[in-house]
Amino acid sequence: MAQGFLPMTMDEARRRGWDEVDFVYVSGDAYVDHPSFGAAIITRVLEANGYRVGVIAQPDWTDPQSIAVFGEPRLGFLVSAGNMDSMVNHYTSSKKPRRNDAYSPGGQAGLRPNHAAAVYGNLIRRVYKKTPIILGGIEASLRRLAHYDYWSDKLKRSILLDSGADIVSYGMGERSIVEIADALQSGLSIEDITFIEGTVYKARSLKHVYDAVVLPSFEEMRADKLAYARSFNVQYLNSDPFTGKRLVEEYPHQVYVVQNPPSKPLSRSELDAVYRLPYMRTYHPSYESAGGVPAIAEVKFSLSSNRGCFGECSFCALTFHQGRIVQSRSKESLVEEAKLFFDDPDFKGYIHDVGGPTANFRAPACQKQMKHGACPHKSCLFPKPCSKLEVDHKDYLDVLRTLRSMPEVKKVFVRSGVRFDYALADPDDTFIRELCEHHVSGQLKVAPEHVSDAVLSVMGKPGNAVYECFRDRYARVNADLGKKQYLVPYLMSSHPGSTLKEAVELAEYCRDLGYMPEQVQDFYPTPSTMSTCMYYTGVDPRTMKPVYTPKSTHEKALQRALIQYRDPKNYDLVIEALRKAGRMDLVGYGPECLVRPRKGGGSHGSAARTSGGSHGGPVRKGGGSRKGAAVNRVSRSSKTGQKTRGSARKRR
């Protein structure tokens, strides 16, 4: 049985009767014992398997003594940068420092280093020369092989080599971490643990690696970006736990990095067991004086119902981390967790979310996936739903109905992304109807990301006609229900495939909707996504065909300004973008124009305003598009932003 939080000091460990710990978990996040945090899941899973774990959260990376709190652990150190890649945590897509860190006490920034997993690993190795170091978490998982690093603008080695660690547990680590622990407990040397699925290890020889696919060497990839593109495609095709092959990358001085196939997905009962562990469900009380840890607020009364995603958006790392095979918890498990909310004095009757990476995925795309894996050369939803795709919302509806029928629950929201093309593929409108009737409050955020089919094709997203069909159906259902509820589209600028022509197309679409997003997410090249590979190499690794990619800061600003053309601060950028795109026909006073010409060539001030009153832009009668999508008009206070993609749920 758990005795409250896991120890953060040796005194706390002794109060449990321990004179040493088996593992020390070093995390870039503050210690939050909640199942939306990777550290909590891994430490509680180890505890459930009989291991004693101490936690060192956000150690001072300039002080070697900060990781010596428990002395040398009996079996090893576990190292994670936290729930987010530390570089994404620190910097915006324009490489500007973020002011806050939701995973730190009081939201304070700067409590973890850049490239935290590697820094922590080297810090530990300075003090403990031989103690096993196991890396995990999203940062290590997506940097397990050679990868493009946007912040340094270069190809970097496997994090295994740069961190001083012995092994990486990648993907969802519940299986692999217990197998590693059991192997160490049995007396095996860390160098001999080369056989566990979901791990990456170093080797000096390939004499015993007889079944691997050999990727281009690091030196080859560094010399030729196309070699990296080819390597990435092989990695992508081998990211399935049933069909994935062992992969090998060679480095100078006869060093090999070997990636074993991914771990098998958890069964429903196994996933239920993970969420049944005795989490404290909040941050450590030592953070109370700092105001707590902000990241808990959004997930405290939310339910993680699934993991994995067969949507395969090119810009998302889920395929590489959680995989394409969806796993879900039972209704009973979700109800059991919801009942825990009722004892919390902060619970006001609102369940904030029931979902995961994609809310309305509750089962594998087809039964074949659980025996033979996901098709390596075929997508489940792109360019259109596969004929074998099993579309069924009944299980998810049953969960939502049961939760909202509980007397203590006032409303159950669905805030995870709803995959609208999957919803449309269901011939039964019941899910969309009940979503609108019970689980939306004024606005539903969805992620079409763009309107240009050329860009959407590169993104791996459905064509714009699919989004418009969903928009119209959503409007019809709300009209039938007598509700005024709007769609808020997430939009992304500067994605590979987007020239100024496509950016203008997106601006015109926003004009026709009478909608200007106050925030627009620039494409962010994060490690190990298909889109990041395109950004670095200039080709689509699946076809090796060239893909145009906006790279300069100025061009990105032009594309973003076009979407926010009504903002007077963007006037000069909009004019420049329209001139470069050959679309000066959009400068004028007509209803189709985006901006007015500058009066008298002076400063823009009021003359730079767009052509639609105080908000700028022509807002059509009823606020809708020319195609009658009035339901899409939203207030200026509505914000888009980076698509959530379950960042708090991307656990190791």
Strands (E), 280-331: 282-283, 302-304, 306-307, 327-328
CA angle 288, 292, 297 (to 5 degrees): 140
The packing angle between helices 571-581 and 553-563, to 10°, is: 100
The 3-class SS string of 2-44 reads CCCCCCCCHHHHHHCCCCCCCEEEEECCCCEECCCCHHHHHHH
- Two structure tokens written together for 292: 């707590």
Percentages (nearest 5) of helix, strand, coil residues in the chain: 35, 15, 50
Q: Using DSSP, state whether 275 is helix, strand or coil.
A: helix
C-alpha to C-alpha distances, 365 to 1, 257, 382, 392, 400, nearest whole angstrom? 37, 32, 13, 10, 20
Q: Which DSSP symbol is given to 161?
A: H
Complete DSSP assignment for 128-154: -SSS-EEEEHHHHHHTSSSEEETTTTE
Helix (H, G, I), strand (E, B) or coil at 641: coil
Q: Give the Cβ contact number of residue 348 at 10 Å.
A: 10
Residue of 383, 530, 379 whose CA lies nearest to 462: 383
Question: Rounded distance, CA 217 to CA 31, Å?
Answer: 38
Alpha-carbon gap, residue 421 to 476, rounded angstroms: 17
Minimal CA–CA distance to 79: which of 167, 187, 184, 189?
Answer: 167
* Cβ proximity of 308 and 327 under 8 Å: yes
Q: Is 545 exposed, middle or buried (0-12, 13-18, 19+ CB in 10 A)?
A: exposed
Cβ atoms of 324 and 374 within 8 Å: the answer is yes
- Tokens 């106050």 correspond to 518
- Residue 602 makes CB contacts below 8 A (sequence gap 6+) with none
309 in a labelled binding site:
yes
Pairwise CA distance, residues 56 & 45, whole Å: 17
Taking the C-alpha atoms of 356, 359, 365 and 370 in order, what is their torsion angle to the nearest 10 degrees?
30
What residues have CB less than 8 Å from 70, skipping those under 6 apart? 7, 10, 13, 20, 21, 24, 54, 56
**Residue 422 tokens, joined:** 């999957």
* Structure-token pair, residue 147: 């990868």
Identify the residue whose tokens are 């959407």. Answer: 456
- What are 374's two structure tokens? 């996901």
Tokens of 545: 């065909």
3-state SS class at 215: coil
Q: Residue 403: which of 457, 451, 331, 462 has the closest Cα?
A: 331
Residue 129 has a CB neighbour count (10 Å cut-off) of 8
The dihedral formed by the CA atoms of 311, 317, 318 and 322, expressed in degrees to the nearest 10: 150
- CA–CA separation, 491 and 245 (whole Å): 36
Pairing of strands 76-80, 154-156: unpaired
Binding site for [4Fe-4S] cluster: residue ranges?
309, 313, 316
Binding site: residue ranges?
309, 313, 316
